[in-house]
Structure 1
Amino acid sequence: MNLKPLGDRVVIKIVEAEDKTKSGIVLPSSAKEQPQMAEVVAVGGDIANDDKKKNQIKVNDKVIFSKYAGTEVKIDGEELTILKFNDILAVVE
């Protein structure tokens, strides 16, 4: 199934957090923080048509987003998040 966001929305896929700390301690899932880094899967039409925004973000970019932003959905067994363009804080290069 293809997911096409509307307006200035972006679809992202969360990048999994590390299971170990730098010192080698294994973290249980209950102790992990929700990751704030994700990969852009799709962008809405308003972003693609806006010259300023389309140069800032594109599909496959790694981004950092606001902690409690977006709506989580499950499509074809894959967990995705739909959020507004303004909830993206930075692009990781």
Structure 2
Amino acid sequence: MAFKPLHDRVLVERVESDEKTAGGLIIPDSAKEKPAEGKIVAVGEGARKDSGELIAPSVKEGDKILFGKWSGTEVTLDGKELLIMKESDILGIIA
């Protein structure tokens, strides 16, 4: 893929949620919510301070993250549905 996010933006691929609940009930596609969990595919170079100094991103490619339900802009690249979002939209990294 030839896409590099700019500034403090990241490219995220959603991680699909489980097909069943903890109790074993199967969740139909119509009842599933879009997952708010994903894997970082690409990272921009970072934001800049007013002085022009670069602020390095806190995340890297391959990190598994949580993000807000309505975060990011959906795009399709090479047939994959991905999200472009600002680093500040990321809630945390899953260890």
Normalising by structure 1, report the TM-score. 0.89
Q: Indicate the structure (1 or 2) with the bigger Cα radius of gyration.
A: 2
Equivalent residues in 2 for 1:25-40, closer than 5 Å: 25-40=25-40
Deviations 1:6-53 (A, max 9, x none): 111000000001111111111111111110000000011126x524x3
Partner of 2:46: 46
Q: Runs (4+) of structure 1 moved beyond 3 Å?
A: none
Partners of 1:84 and 1:57 in 2: CA distance? 11
RMSD: 1.2
Within the alignment, does 1:18 sit opposite 2:8 as a pair? no
Gapped regions of structure 2 (runs ≥ 5): 48-53
Q: TM-score, normalised by structure 2?
A: 0.87
Structure with the bigger percentage of helix: 1
